[in-house]
Amino acid sequence: MTAALAAAMIAAAPGLAADLPARPQAVLRQQLLPEDSVSVVVRDVATGESLVNLNSTVARPPASTMKLLPTWAALDLLGPAYSWKTRVWADAPVVRGVLKGNLYLQGGGDPLLTIERWWRLVADLRQTGLRAIEGDVIVDQSRYVPINERPEDFDGRSWRTYNVLPDAMLVNWQSSEFTIRPADDGGGIEIRVQPFPEGLVVDNRVVLAEGRCVGRDRRVGYTISPTDPGRVVVSGRLASSCPPQTQRLAIMDPAQYAYGTFVTLWREQGGEFRGGWLRAPTPPNARLLLTHESQPLADVVRVTNKFSSNMMARTLVLAVGAEKFGVPASNAAGEAAIHEWLAGRGLEFPELVIGNGSGLSREARISADSMGRLLAAAWRSRYAPEFLASLALGGLDGTLQKRFANVPDPSRIRMKTGTLRDVSTIAGYVTGASGRTFAVVVFAHHPGVQHGAGETFQAAVIDWVLRQ
C-alpha cells in the first residue's frame, strides 16, 4: 500500500473525523482558546462512528471527569449491591448491660456513613441491651494503609469538605455545620454546631455590631490549624440585623470525629461512658456486637458522580484494591486492580495516570480518545443503567443543575464535569435529535480556561451534538 493510498483511507475513515464543526470553531476563536489546547471526541456509542476527533490522543488532566473510571470499575468489579460493613466489637463480657472492657469501632471504609446512619448504628447498639461502657472506645482504621497526605496539601484549605481524605472510619465526611447568628437576647453572637462531637473546642471571637447587615458587619471567618483540627476559631463582625449564616467545615481528624460523634450520640440515647479513646486494631479474640451495612454501591456511585465527591471516588479505588488484593488496602493496589481490569476488557490506555481516582490531582492524565472508549464500553456493559443513573442530568441535578437549562429536554445530556485551575472538562452522553446517543468528551487545558471559556466551548460542542 502506498503512503498516498494509506493517507486517503485514513482521511475517509468515519472513525477518524478531525475537524470541528463551524459553530464550535467560531466559539473557540471567540474565547481565545488555541486549537491545540482542546481535545474533542464525539462518537456514536452504538456504531462506533466518530463525528469529531480533535487532538484525541493528547494526554490531558481530566479534573473530576476522572471519577468516571473508578465508578464504572467499582460497579463492574464489585456489583451494584456491594456494601461496606462497619462493625462494633467488645474485648470483654457484657454483664447486665455493662461492658466490662473496651468497645471497638471497626471501620469498613463506608464512604457514605452520614450522621443519620451513624445515629442508626448507635441506636442499634443500644437495642442489643448495652447501656454502659466501662473501658475505652477504640477506633480501628486498619482496613486501609494510612495515607501519606494531609487535607491541606492540595490548596491549603484543610477545612474544605472537598479536601477530606478517605479513611476506613470516616463519619459524615468528617464535617459539621456551623450556624452563627445574633443571640435572641441581644447579648452577643451564638454559634451552633451540628453534630457537635465530644472534644471539639469552638473559640467564639465574633463581635456583635449594630446597624445594617452590610460590608464588614457581615463578615465571619473560620480558622482551623492543621496541627489542632479539633479547635475552631470563629472571628469577624456580625450586625444584629443579620440572618443566620451556615458553613459546613471539615473538622478534627477521622478517628477523633468518629469517636466524638459516637460519644455524643451514645449519651443522647441514654448510654453511659466515662472512659477515653485510642486508635488500635481490633484484637482477634474480640466478640462481635453489631454489624452495620452501608448503602449499596449503586447509591454511592450516584452520589460520587452527581455531586463530584473526591473522597468517595478515592474510596472506590481503595475498595477495589481491598477486594482484589486484600487488606490493608492502598491506593497503589486499587490502581493496579483497575489497570488489570481495563486490560481484561481490551481497554489499555498507555497514557493513563489514575492518580488518586478523584481528578483532584495535578498528575492525573487521560486522553479524550481513551475517555471516549471508556464511555462507549460502559454504555454496553451489564451495569450501564446504574452507571448512567449516576451522571448529572442537564439543567436538572448534580453539577449540571444550572447548566443547559434552556435546552429543549435537557435530560438528553448525561455528563460528568471537571474543573481545576487552568482545566475545564466534561464527558458523558448526549442524545441527538435523530435519537442516536453519542459519547462526548471535551477537554480544555489553558491558562484561565476555568473562568468560563471552557464551559462556553463545551456548550457549543454539545449544542451541535444535540442537533445530530
Render pLDDT for 67-105 as a digit per residue (tens, 0 to 9): 999 999 999 999 999 999 999 999 999 999 999 999 999
Number of helices (H), then strands (E), in the chain:
11, 23
Structural domains in the chain plus CATH codes: 3-81+297-466 (3.40.710.10), 83-295 (3.50.80.20)
Confidence of residue 51 (pLDDT cuts 50, 70, 90): very high
The C-alpha cell of 67 is what? Answer: 471519577
- For residues 121 and 113, what is the distance between their CA atoms, to the nearest angstrom? 10
The C-alpha cell of 278 is what? Answer: 485510642
Confidence of residue 168 (pLDDT cuts 50, 70, 90): very high
CB of 74 closer than 8 Å to CB of 297 = yes
pLDDT at 406: 86
- For residues 48 and 37, what is the distance between their CA atoms, to the nearest angstrom? 25
- For residues 64 and 314, what is the distance between their CA atoms, to the nearest angstrom? 11
Mean pLDDT of the region 387-398: 96
Confidence of residue 18 (pLDDT cuts 50, 70, 90): low
pLDDT at 7: 36
The total of other beta-carbon atoms located within 10 Å of residue 83's CB is: 15
CB of 296 closer than 8 Å to CB of 81 = yes
The total of other beta-carbon atoms located within 10 Å of residue 192's CB is: 14
- For residues 350 and 417, what is the distance between their CA atoms, to the nearest angstrom? 23
pLDDT at 130: 97
pLDDT at 8: 36
Contacts of 410 (CB under 8 A, 6+ apart): 393, 394, 395, 396, 400, 404
User: Dihedral of the CA atoms 393, 399, 405, 411 (nearest 10)?
Assistant: 0
pLDDT at 52: 96
Q: Is 1 helix (H, G, I), strand (E, B) or coil?
A: coil
- For residues 404 and 413, what is the distance between their CA atoms, to the nearest angstrom? 8
* Residue 440, beta-bridge partner list: 42, 428
- For residues 427 and 42, what is the distance between their CA atoms, to the nearest angstrom? 10
Confidence of residue 147 (pLDDT cuts 50, 70, 90): confident
How deeply is 386 buried, as exposed, middle or buried, from its count of CB atoms within 10 A (0-12, 13-18, 19+)?
A: buried
Stated pTM of the model: 0.91
pLDDT digits (tens, 9 = 90+) for 20-30: 999 999 999 99
pLDDT digits (tens, 9 = 90+) for 334-390: 999 999 999 999 999 999 999 999 998 889 999 999 999 999 999 999 999 999 999
Closest to 182 in 3D by CA, of 111, 258, 240, 128: 240
pLDDT at 288: 98
